[in-house]
Amino acid sequence: MAKKKDKKEKDEIKDLQKEYDEVVKKLASKKEEISSLKEDLEKQEGETQEYVSLSQRLQADFENFKKITEKRNREIVKFANEDLILEILDCYEDLQRALEIKNDKDLRQGVELTYNKLKEILTKEGVEEIPAKGEKFDLNKHEAMMVQESEDVENGYIIDELMKGYTYKDKVLKYSKVIVCKK
């Protein structure tokens, strides 16, 4: 019986040794897995730092781009009418020369020349006169200053224009001031 007991104990020890060896193998495998995961984690942390750094650089670049763009836009707005002003200066100088003339006929011709040149510039820039006299009154283009009766003009039509009105590229810049017929 002692032999059976010794054999049973030896078998149990063998079984325990096998289990122990398997646990040690699993533990070694888990240690390798943990080590591999630590390496991957360190690699991921490095990549994350690179992405954070890249994101910060991109954000700084974007802020610089935004500042440069805003500065350019301010410059564009500041000098947007430069060409128009140059053309108007020509008319201004023509008018100045016309005022230096002593002969009334030459003065009139100089002023007419300047007027026509200025009108051409305004037309080229998209400024147009709003038709008024004889037109039907339109609140979107005309401002009624007075109302009068007239036998020659239909009701709701404009009798006379007191001040011209202008549009700039289809937008009313200045309303025509008119006298409207009311019967």
pLDDT digits (tens, 9 = 90+) for 144-168: 999 999 888 899 999 999 999 999 8
The CA radius of gyration of the chain, in Å to the nearest whole number, is 46
User: Could you say which DSSP state residue 140 is in?
Assistant: T
pLDDT digits (tens, 9 = 90+) for 27-72: 989 999 999 999 999 999 999 999 999 999 999 999 999 999 999 9
Packing angle between helix 104-125 and helix 82-100, nearest 10 degrees? 170
3-state secondary structure of 149: coil
Residue 104, C-beta contacts closer than 8 angstroms, at least 6 positions apart: none
pLDDT of residue 87: 79
Phi, psi of 132, rounded to the nearest 5 degrees: -135, -70
Record the pTM: 0.55
Q: Is 6 a residue whose pLDDT tops 80?
A: no
